[in-house]
């Protein structure tokens, strides 16, 4: 485990959620599971031997899923960003998360069926923003703020001041 690890709090469904993420991300694996002791029931309503944490990896990033109670919920102030190589990869993640009960937000953001926020962004967008002048950035920002799922062709057209 690295020095900093993202922990995700789930309301008694950590195993289900991790199985889901392992299915969405092909480059993924479970690293380790820990289990509740006999005091798990007192604090989180979990029987001894029930999974407490699952350390897992998706796309080279290590995460920990905590199997706990309803005390805490995800919100959009924290999100996980997926840097996509092309529009088909953007479409894959976008469609996959929404098809399974997710909710679209704006500017490439969505929440999956567990309420975890994701930013689905083509890496080409970042490349364009790094080399954009003031007017190009403004046009791209205007397009970005109109979009729900990011469309790299539309963002490139805005960068190049072309009509789409």
CB-based burial, 86-122: b 16+ in 10 Å, e otherwise: ebeebeebbebbbeeebeeeeebbbbbebebbbbbbb
9's tokens: 């709090």
For the whole model, what pTM was predicted? 0.91
Domains and CATH numbers, the chain: 1-72 (3.10.180.10), 74-164 (3.10.180.10)
Write out pLDDT tens, residues 36-77.
998 877 877 888 899 999 999 999 999 999 999 899 999 999
Give the span between the Cα atoms of 145 and 4, in whole angstroms.
32
Query: Which of 25-39, 40-54, 92-106, 126-140 is the least confident region?
Result: 40-54
Structure confidence at residue 118 (pLDDT) = 98
Alpha-carbon Rg for the chain in angstroms: 19
pLDDT band at 136 (very low <50, low <70, confident <90, very high): very high
Reading the block at residue 90, the tokens are 């953007």
């Amino acid at each position: 485990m690295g020095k900093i690890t993202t922990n995700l709090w789930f309301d008694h469904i950590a195993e289900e959620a991790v199985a889901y993420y392992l299915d969405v991300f092909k480059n993924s694996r479970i690293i380790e599971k820990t289990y509740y002791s006999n005091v798990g029931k007192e604090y989180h309503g979990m029987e001894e031997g029930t999974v407490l944490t699952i350390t897992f990896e998706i796309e080279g990033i290590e995460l920990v899923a905590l199997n706990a109670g309803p005390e805490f919920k995800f919100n959009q102030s924290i999100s996980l960003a997926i840097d996509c190589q092309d529009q088909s990869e953007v479409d894959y993640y976008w469609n996959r998360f929404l098809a399974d009960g997710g909710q679209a937000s704006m500017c490439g953001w969505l929440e999956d069926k567990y309420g975890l926020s994701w930013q689905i962004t083509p890496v080409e967008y970042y490349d364009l923003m790094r080399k954009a002048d003031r007017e190009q950035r403004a046009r791209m920002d205007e397009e970005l703020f109109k979009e729900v799922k990011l469309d790299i062709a539309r963002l490139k057209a805005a960068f190049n001041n072309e009509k789409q």
